[in-house]
């Protein structure tokens, strides 16, 4: 549709001028002069202009395309809108004005359209960050935000982004997933799901680890669905992404500094404050700094059943990262004392990975068992073992138990939670 670029630009400027001059009341199809001009009103204006413009395309499909493109740019996020509406797109990556990449089914490909210029891209960025009270400019070129749909947004501006503004949007499925659906998708096995469900009922503290794009937040959302409805849950995030279904949920979100550099509220401050809010469970969307220490202390002081996610390449590396982040709190803690905190706080680690074919799986469920000297000890209970790749490039493998029995097995019996020993048979 590049042959209509000039016409589209002209009509967009004309529409913006008409909306800026609102209310005028001279247009016969205009709504009452109260309120704000809306999308239907703008649509009527564009239809009338196209009907009387000799340069306009004659085919109705071409006209609808032009109108949709203009409305997306004036009322929405411009070229991003079609990709945001496409449920098969899971990630949108804008690398400057001319290079946009999309992820579908775990695979990256380049989009066939882009932004007209940097001014249009900057306008879209402002529309993303302003409604959620965030600020991004040359003085503050990094920003995390979210869309009304819950999609996560990261923005990097020049001079940090050398080739122009970089925007990364991580979409989350609007479909409410369950453990049963993840089993059907072969994200985890039935034994894994049943065991993790029982552990949540036992109020075991759980860390979900994995690399970028491995599905940690989605899996955390699914696990949170197993929490009973009669508990008070507090979620703490940089940009609110979790969508819990329980009736008693308090959602907290960190705050960036204002134009004067004041008013910052960090995740650590929110975790500390959450302890005063009578939570049954605390869910931290992602531990990435000093808040890890306060999360450990919360898990050790009666808030059992808490959950969080951590970036890591393996379960043991997740523990090392949590140690490192806790040390960032600046307290002069002996390493052994810190590891005792980790041992007492974290019961299980569910580690996810994204494979070459785009599939995401729980590749390990590991229990933190204790300490031997200065070393934290763990034992793997379940794992996914890749056996090969088929002719279509799909990863082949199987879930299996390691033969190790969890040390808290007796708690399943005393609480009356169903337990099948064959889950753990090799």
Got the DSSP string for 16-34? HHHHHT-----STT---SS
Which residues on neighbouring strands pair with residue 378, listed in sequence order? 368
pLDDT in tens, the chain (426 residues): 456 777 777 777 778 787 777 665 445 454 444 455 677 878 888 888 888 777 778 788 888 888 888 888 788 888 899 899 898 999 999 999 989 999 998 889 999 888 888 988 999 999 999 888 888 888 889 998 888 888 889 999 999 999 999 999 998 877 778 899 999 999 999 999 999 999 999 999 999 999 988 999 999 999 999 999 999 999 998 878 888 889 999 999 888 777 677 788 988 899 899 989 999 999 998 888 888 998 898 888 778 899 999 999 999 999 999 999 999 988 888 888 899 999 999 999 999 999 988 899 999 999 999 999 889 999 999 999 999 999 888 999 999 999 999 999 899 989 998 888 888 887
Query: pTM value?
Result: 0.81
CA dihedral 52, 54, 60, 65 (to 10 degrees): -100
Q: How many CA atoms lie within 13 A of 188 on its CB side?
A: 27
Preceding peptide of 323 cis, ω within 30°: no
For each of the domains in the chain, give its residue range(s) and CATH number, in order of start. 2-75 (no CATH), 80-170 (3.30.450.370), 179-424 (3.40.50.300)
Q: How far apart are CA 19 and CA 183, in angstroms?
A: 51
Q: How far apart are CA 200 and CA 304, in angstroms?
A: 9
Task: Specify the length of the chain in residues.
Answer: 426
Residue with tokens 């199987």: 398
Q: How far apart are CA 16 and CA 290, in angstroms?
A: 46
Cβ-contact 53, 7 below 8 angstroms? yes
Burial (CB count <10 Å: 0-12, 13-18, 19+), residue 411 = middle
Which residues on neighbouring strands pair with residue 235, listed in sequence order? 251, 283
pLDDT at site 37: 62
pLDDT tens digits for range 293-324? 988 988 887 788 999 999 999 999 999 999 99
Preceding peptide of 154 cis, ω within 30°: no
- 3-class DSSP assignment, residue 124: helix
Q: How far apart are CA 329 and CA 297, in angstroms?
A: 12
């Amino acid at each position: 549709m590049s042959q209509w670029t000039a016409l589209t630009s002209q009509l967009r400027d004309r529409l913006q001028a008409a909306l800026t001059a609102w209310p005028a009341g001279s247009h016969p199809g205009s709504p009452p002069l109260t309120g704000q001009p809306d999308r239907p009103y703008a649509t009527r204006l564009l239809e009338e202009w196209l009907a009387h413009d000799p340069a306009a395309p004659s085919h109705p499909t071409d006209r609808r395309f032009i109108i949709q493109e203009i409305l997306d740019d004036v009322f929405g996020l411009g070229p991003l809108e079609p990709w945001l509406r496409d449920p098969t797109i899971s990630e949108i990556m804008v690398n400057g004005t001319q290079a946009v990449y999309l992820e579908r089914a775990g695979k990256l490909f380049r989009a066939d359209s882009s932004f007209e210029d940097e001014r249009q891209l900057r306008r879209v960025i402002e529309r993303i960050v302003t409604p959620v009270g965030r600020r991004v400019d040359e003085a503050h070129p990094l920003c995390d935000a979210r869309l009304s749909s819950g999609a996560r947004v990261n923005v990097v501006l020049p001079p940090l982004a050398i080739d122009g503004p970089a925007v990364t949007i991580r979409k989350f499925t609007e479909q409410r997933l369950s453990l049963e659906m993840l089993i059907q998708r072969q994200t985890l096995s039935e034994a894994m799901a049943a065991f993790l469900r029982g552990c949540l009922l036992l109020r075991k503290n759980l860390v979900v680890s994995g690399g970028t794009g491995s599905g940690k937040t989605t899996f955390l959302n699914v696990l949170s669905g197993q929490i009973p409805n009669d508990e008070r849950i507090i979620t703490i995030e940089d940009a609110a992404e979790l969508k819990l279904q329980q009736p008693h949920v308090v959602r907290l979100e960190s705050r960036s500094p204002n134009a004067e550099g004041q008013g910052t509220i960090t995740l650590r401050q929110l975790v500390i404050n959450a302890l005063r809010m009578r939570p049954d469970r605390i869910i931290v969307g992602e531990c990435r700094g000093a808040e890890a220490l306060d999360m450990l202390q919360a898990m050790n002081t009666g808030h059992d059943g808490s959950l969080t996610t951590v970036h890591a390449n393996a379960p043991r590396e997740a523990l090392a990262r949590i140690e490192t982040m806790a040390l960032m709190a600046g307290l002069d803690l002996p390493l052994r004392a810190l590891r005792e905190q980790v041992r007492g706080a974290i019961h299980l680690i569910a580690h996810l990975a994204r494979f070459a074919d785009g599939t995401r799986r729980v590749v390990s469920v590991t229990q933190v068992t204790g300490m031997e000297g200065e070393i934290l000890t763990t034992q793997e209970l379940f794992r996914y073992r890749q056996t090969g790749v088929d002719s279509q490039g799909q990863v082949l493998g199987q879930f299996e138990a390691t033969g190790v029995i969890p040390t808290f097995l007796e708690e399943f019996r005393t609480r009356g939670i169903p337990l099948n020993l064959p889950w753990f048979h090799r």
